[in-house]
Homo-oligomer: A and B are copies of this chain.
């Protein structure tokens, strides 16, 4: 399951995608519109900024805005940043690989194969889920 932090991050990014190229949006507004605790959101946006997904402008009239085009930001990257590995086993993770203590021998482990398939399918879907596609879908579904 995705953490709340990750879900908040996704919702905040979608919101900023809707405001793309309209200047900085401040935390307070995102927090209110998306019902996210402001202080928690603060930490999340900061993390997204440090990962170069967002830019920020300090001081009066400041706020956050997308660093890249909505079509260049996908759920795979956001989830990896917020929650870490996408794979279901550490020993099949591409970005957060760790040896499985439980496996005596990774080469002959019979269960890894299925989880490698799951990982690849998942990455393909989430890698293709970009902010612009999410926005388009919401419009198509009639969101106001």
Does B121 lie within 8 Å of A125, measured CB to CB? yes
Partner of A122, one of B4, B118, B141, B142: B118
Does A7 lie within 8 Å of B100, measured CB to CB? yes
Q: Do most interface residues of chain A lie in helix, strand or loop, or is the interface mixed?
A: helix
Partner of A118, one of B10, B14, B125: B125
Does B108 lie within 8 Å of A143, measured CB to CB? yes
Q: Please give the number of chain A residues whose Cβ is less than 8 angstroms from any Cβ of chain B in the complex.
A: 44
Query: Contacts A8-B102, A35-B102: A110 and B122 contacting too (C-beta < 8 A)?
Result: no
Give chain A's interface residues, CB within 8 Å of chain B: 1-2, 4, 7-8, 10-11, 14, 34-35, 75, 85, 87-90, 100, 102, 105, 107-111, 113-114, 117-118, 121-122, 125-126, 128-129, 133-138, 141-144
